[in-house]
Chain A
């Protein structure tokens, strides 16, 4: 399968955007962690911004970055969002309430669905094409990328792909240790055009041993499924033929090769 990468958005502590990420991936700059500013996506109407969860704001803020780097209107894109645990802090709050008074707030409940980020995004952007929200545990980046790629190619449509991890509070963090936020947003097109950053050839292949994490990456991010995407982004800084393996299951990888 061959897809075109049109634009990238990145949010992580120390990586506030794609330019700073590219500098780190290309070895031009050392990675230095820095607290991530609170996300206030401009596209979310004030009422929605207030009602939404931190995960929603995080995912949409990274998506906005990618949108600013492409001429493709957001209304023309299908959506594939992926996360190993999209509700995060909301799950914690709900379970706390349910273990006590059980007086759940309606907003809290609708924010608890895995597709809340893509739902809020579709409202913010008037994006009316299909929206798919994927989970594949630690393999969520590769799974979502495949889902986005097959949709782009089968439907001949650009796809906004966003994969994200949002920090979890204790005690959930004891069993799912996501401590820092990482988000990668990609605008994917079915074929290259003048403004395309690079084309990727994707293939599913048997996994041979564990895939190494990038040396520059903080160890804490290894709990983040979305951080697997940095391996794929590194191919955008390399030349033709640059490649990366993204784990898809215990047996399979997605091989990404720049072409």
Chain B
């Protein structure tokens, strides 16, 4: 495919608000995760909470959209000059020529969970003030962001669990290639809620302590919240989307294919679209959730293609697993690694599982990086691999 320029991007998670804070956390090998202190979900685990998002005030005209997810979205939009970059593109291209594609797994479902706690005991009805369409519907944040940015091009939400906000890059490339848009704002937002905290706990996939990707003693994931965005435009740029691959495992709803077959095919497809050989990838940001099965399957798939020649790591120990926002969070980390020529490590990993065959590299290092891959896999056996690189 013809590369797409990444004109601007931003990421906000427990690791930091914006790119500089995130880059610092990665360089200093500092985790943003902390023991769970949510008064409304007293589970024994760690979380990646963005406290600053909780007090964000939405513009009055968009008050109907107020919920944890949209507050987090707005906080992220305000970082790194992203609003200004979109405004400049809008002035140049026209609001109708810029699409908005966001990923989420649970949108503002926390508001519905709270509304269910407040049901009328006699009638069972939800509180009168509760709005479904602007807070909980999976498209609520996409519509909110579209209005904040003043864009009028095609928009939609992709919700494929933990690959959601990686797949928006693929959709944007196709829309731009078919001439339906000249540019696209892509990204994702997912926020802490009962559904994912208690749901992943029910599946026994949440670690009691901090997550430790690819560690011998890994015991599961740490859930985090995050929001991130990227502005893509037709043509070459200093940073570019170079390829992508999308596949299905067709194996199991909530467990990966044991050999990582779908993951392997997604990575191969991404390399093919980018017209790159495996040895031309300098670093892989793994999905690396730190569940025993996920890491094993992904490690095998990566080793099958890259052998031990390509350093890889998971940054989930820094940001947590941000679910529907994991794709954009790690796309942003991949872009940061290119911009700073810094290969991030996995600071919570103490001893790399000796079963691991791929070149898992727990410590970060300064290194010239030209092309990097980012993996995102989700429930339903839904896989996506992205390739980013520096332009000429």
Contacts and interface: CB of A to CB of B under 8 A. Distances in A.
Interface in B69-117: 96, 105, 109, 112-113, 115-117
Interface stretch (B23-31, B248-256, B345-353): B248-256
A236 interface: no
A113 B203 CA distance: 14
Contact of B379 (A119, A134, A151): A119
B306 interface: no
Contacts, number: 214
A123 B253 contact: yes
Contacts of A78: 246
Interface string B213-254: 000000000000000000000000000000001111111111
B159 to A, nearest CB: 4
A258 B327 CA distance: 38
A150 B382 contact: no
A114 B133 contact: no
A171 B126 contact: yes
Contacts of A126: 250
Nearest to B261: A128
Interface string B146-179: 0000001011111111000001001101110110
Given A85-B137, A112-B195, A171-B119, A130 B248 contact: yes
Contacts of A114: 105, 138, 159-161
Interface in A123-150: 123, 125-137, 140, 143-144, 146-147, 149-150
A193 interface: no
A4 to B, nearest CB: 16
Contact of A135 (B156, B199, B251): B156
B248 A79 contact: yes
B380 A135 contact: no
Contacts of B175: 146, 150
A186 to B, nearest CB: 17
Contact of A249 (B105, B155, B158, B378): B155
A206 B152 CA distance: 10
Contacts of B154: 143, 146, 204, 248-249, 252
B379 A131 contact: no
A1 interface: yes
A42 interface: no
A105 B133 contact: no
Contacts of A182: none
Nearest to B146: A249
Interface residues of B, number: 66
A137 B379 contact: no
A193 B156 CA distance: 30
Nearest to B142: A136
Contact of B195 (A94, A140, A249): A94
A135 to B, nearest CB: 4
B113 A147 contact: no
A111 to B, nearest CB: 8
B253 A120 contact: yes
B262 interface: yes
Contacts of A172: 132
Contacts of A85: 137-138
Nearest to B42: A102
B180 interface: yes
A143 B124 CA distance: 34
A166 interface: no
Contacts of A146: 154, 156, 175, 180
Contacts of B156: 134-136, 143-144, 146-147
A125 B109 contact: no
B282 interface: no
A109 interface: yes
Nearest to A116: B380
A99 B152 contact: no
B182 interface: no
A115 B376 CA distance: 15
A94 B110 CA distance: 12
Contacts of A210: none
Interface string B245-276: 11111111110000000100100000000000
A154 B269 CA distance: 14
A132 B160 contact: yes
Contact of A1 (B138, B178, B202): B178
Contact of B381 (A1, A102, A123, A206): A123
Given A122-B248, A136-B139, A106 B159 contact: no
A135 B138 contact: yes
B180 A150 contact: yes
Instruction: Give 4 closest A-B pairs by Cβ, nearest first.
Output: A119-B380, A130-B246, A109-B199, A114-B159
24 contacts: A85-B137, A94-B199, A95-B112, A98-B194, A109-B195, A109-B200, A114-B105, A116-B379, A122-B248, A122-B250, A123-B250, A126-B250, A127-B248, A127-B250, A129-B247, A135-B138, A135-B159, A150-B178, A154-B174, A174-B125, A174-B126, A176-B133, A248-B154, A251-B152
Given A132-B160, A149-B178, A170-B124, 13 more contacts: A79-B248, A84-B139, A95-B113, A95-B116, A105-B202, A106-B203, A109-B198, A118-B382, A119-B248, A122-B250, A128-B248, A248-B154, A251-B152
Interface of B: 96, 105, 109, 112-113, 115-117, 119, 124-126, 130-133, 137-140, 142-143, 152, 154-161, 167, 170-171, 173-175, 177-178, 180, 194-195, 198-203, 245-254, 262, 265, 378-382, 384
